[in-house]
Amino acid sequence: MDERMTTVPGESSRQSQPAGRLGGRGRIALTAAIALAVLGASIGLVVVLSHSSSSTTVGPTTPPVAPVALSAGGLTTLARAVGQPIYWAGPQKGYLYELTRTANRNIYIRYLPPGVDVGAKGAKYLIVATYPFPGAFEALKKVAAGQGVQIPGGGLAVVDKSYPKSVHMAFPNVDYQVEVFDPSPARALEVATSGRVRPAGR
């Protein structure tokens, strides 16, 4: 993930226009409904692991989703309705969860503390990304070359040596790669190895 990016690391800021922070459960529910409508279609693709902390994709794409703010409950509802897991690091009191999806079906959950607007620029906050990636666990094992950290659920976490603020994760028999980004490399590793990173709604 690249701090030069504004909304979602690894994706151009042209993807969306910043939106105001959503106030009240009604607006959060509305954005969840919009996201559900757009995220409904499920199209397959292949994701190739990159050592530069971004994912390269090939194959069919799907309509992107600009940043929307969800409550923990809204994220859980959405995760149960779409055709792919949405990994996150669990709830944090007072936070909203900014969901963005790219045309390659990469999904980013950014943790927004009170007072921060949806679409805020800068890579200042915890992000958990989910990338479709057949064979992710075996591929990450090869990249790790025995240097990864075993994590709860039988998974593997590997610090990106060229960008230690990102930690890549994968689990056996799960065709998705997960990336945890935090401005603090120590916190990124702590979150990735804590056992809190799991699909929303499970």
Q: Evaluate whether residue 36 is within a structural domain.
A: yes
Is residue 146 assigned to a domain? Answer: yes
The one-letter amino acid code at 15 reads Q
In a domain, 3, yes or no: no
pLDDT of residue 60: 53
Domain of 65 in residue numbering reads as 13-199
Whether 180 maps to a domain, the answer reads yes
Q: What burial class does residue 36 get, using C-beta atoms within 10 Å of its C-beta: 0-12 exposed, 13-18 middle, 19+ buried?
A: middle
Q: CA-CA distance, 120 to 13, in Å (whole number)?
A: 11
The whole-chain average pLDDT of the chain stands at 77
Q: How confident is the model at residue 1 (pLDDT cuts 50, 70, 90)?
A: low
Residue whose pair of structure tokens reads 């390659």 in the numeric block: 104
Residue 107 domain-assigned (yes or no)? yes
pLDDT tens digit sequence for 161-202 = 899 999 999 999 999 999 999 999 999 999 999 999 999 987
The whole-model pTM stands at 0.73
Closest CA to 98 of 82, 77, 113: 113
Tell the residue number behind the tokens 């959503």, with chain if given: 22
Q: What tens digit of pLDDT does each residue of 35-88 get?
A: 444 343 322 222 223 333 344 444 457 788 899 999 999 998 988 888 789 999
Structural domains counted in the chain: 1
The contacts of residue 148 (CB under 8 Å, 6+ apart) are: 140, 141, 156, 157, 158
Say if strands 96-101 and 107-112 run parallel, antiparallel, or are unpaired.
antiparallel
Highest mean pLDDT among 22-31, 96-105, 175-184: 175-184
